[in-house]
Amino acid sequence: MYDRTKGKAEKFSAEFGADVVEELPQVPRRSEIVVTVLSDDEAVKGVVSSMLGELKGKVLLDMSTIPPSLSVELAKEAKRAGGVMFDAPVVGTSIMAEQGKLVVLLGGPAEEMRRVSPVLERLAERVIHVGGNGMGLYAKIVNNLVLGIYVAALAEA
- The active-site residue, picked from 6, 8, 76, 140, is 140
Q: 93 by DSSP, 3-state: which?
A: coil
Annotation marks residue 140 as catalytic: yes
Q: Are strands 33-36 and 59-62 parallel, antiparallel or unpaired?
A: parallel
Distance CA 104, CA 90 (A): 5
Q: Are strands 126-131 and 90-91 parallel, antiparallel or unpaired?
A: unpaired
Distance CA 75, CA 52 (A): 10
135-156 vs 68-80: helix axis angle to the nearest 10? 160
41-51 vs 68-80: helix axis angle to the nearest 10? 0
Q: 20 by DSSP, 3-state: which?
A: coil
The residues assigned a catalytic role are 140
